[in-house]
A and B are shown apart, each in its own frame.
Chain A
């Protein structure tokens, strides 16, 4: 009897856990798939379909360390563009990226896509996080 109760509770916990997780996962998938469309429209021409960039002209998006170190300013890069020298994947780049004034939700989606494609794995970048980051843009 006792075992059955413990078993039932355990199963219940697992089910709850699984369903909570899947809610997050659904949100992730929604962001990711919408983000891939934003990427195609706004980013792919320059950064490439595999995030490979272009020689020493346009940086690749495959440097997970760079993305992690600059996580809080990625939204600002998209909104305001990027100027000046940066080092990505061990190479330096100093051409200008144009500003692209898209909605914060679109920024969140495209960042989720980029941060989880091309060998990156950073999880969902939420709208809330993007809105907070945009307040701190320089």
Chain B
């Protein structure tokens, strides 16, 4: 009888040590405390940075604004079609994300070109065709340079003018945005292991209660 009790205690200790499996992603970006009055009481809440409204044109010459992404989880990146360095490897990896979620209408990928002068809508369409993407899962977005650079900042990305060697400087990150337009993860787009993690994180994010609830 005593042995049985010892056994039970040991079993309980083992169970106590089990770590909780991760079920939610962190929320990234700048936080601002907001003081509100709720039911006559003053409460301080944290407001997270969100992606501001925007207006761009995709490879089908359709206008795309924040409204087109309502109720959708999406991944954003910055590129240009003639990029000789990191873009091919980024989009080779992004194709894996595309293939995984291309049948999910509540998911999108948006790639902003940072070279709108060369990457006109027909050039973007041709690039999409050659990359082998179709439908509306993955949009290649064209817009004014200033607008693209500005929105880049809200994705915590650094994009800028050509350097003296004539090369564009841009980060190679993939940024995961939730249905509330908050940043939930950044991933090195040139690293296949990070992109595998992105795919896993998208699945985790989709299962979060406030993502399922959001329309």
| Contact (A48, B92) CB under 8 Å given A54-B131, A55-B131, A56-B132 | yes
Q: Which residues of B contact A46 (CB under 8 A)?
A: 84, 88-89
Q: Which residues of A contact B88 (CB under 8 A)?
A: 45-46, 54, 57-58
Identity of the chain A residue whose Cβ is nearest the Cβ of B84 in the assembled complex: A98
B28 within 8 A of A: no
Q: Which residues of A contact B86 (CB under 8 A)?
A: 45
Q: Which of B85, B89, B92 has the most CB of A within 10 A?
A: B92
- Distance (whole angstroms) from the CB of A31 to the closest CB of chain B: 25
B-facing residues in A61-119 (Cβ within 8 Å): 95, 98
B91 within 8 A of A: yes
B127 within 8 A of A: yes
| Contact (A45, B130) CB under 8 Å given A55-B95, A98-B84 | no
Q: Which residues of B contact A56 (CB under 8 A)?
A: 129-132
Q: Which residues of A contact B91 (CB under 8 A)?
A: 54
Q: Which residues of B contact A98 (CB under 8 A)?
A: 84
Q: Which residues of A contact B190 (CB under 8 A)?
A: 45
- Distance (whole angstroms) from the CB of B90 to the closest CB of chain A: 9
Q: How many A-B residue pairs have CB under 8 A?
A: 31
Identity of the chain A residue whose Cβ is nearest the Cβ of B85 in the assembled complex: A45
- Distance (whole angstroms) from the CB of B35 to the closest CB of chain A: 49
Identity of the chain B residue whose Cβ is nearest the Cβ of A44 in the assembled complex: B89
Identity of the chain B residue whose Cβ is nearest the Cβ of A95 in the assembled complex: B130
A46 to B131, CA, bound (A): 13
A109 to B173, CA, bound (A): 32
- Distance (whole angstroms) from the CB of A73 to the closest CB of chain B: 21
A55's partner among B85, B89, B130 (CB-CB below 8 A) is B130
A84 to B95, CA, bound (A): 26
A56 to B91, CA, bound (A): 13
Contact with A along B47-61 (1 / 0, CB 8 A): 000000000000000
Find out whether the CB atom of A54 lies under 8 angstroms from the CB atom of B92.
yes
Contact with B along A17-60 (1 / 0, CB 8 A): 00000000000000000000000000011101000001111100
Q: Which residues of B contact A55 (CB under 8 A)?
A: 95, 130-132
Identity of the chain A residue whose Cβ is nearest the Cβ of B131 in the assembled complex: A55
Q: Which residues of A contact B85 (CB under 8 A)?
A: 45
Q: Which residues of A contact B84 (CB under 8 A)?
A: 45-46, 98
| Contact (A57, B130) CB under 8 Å given A46-B84, A98-B84 | yes
A98 to B167, CA, bound (A): 13
- Distance (whole angstroms) from the CB of A58 to the closest CB of chain B: 6
Find out whether the CB atom of B131 lies under 8 angstroms from the CB atom of A45.
no
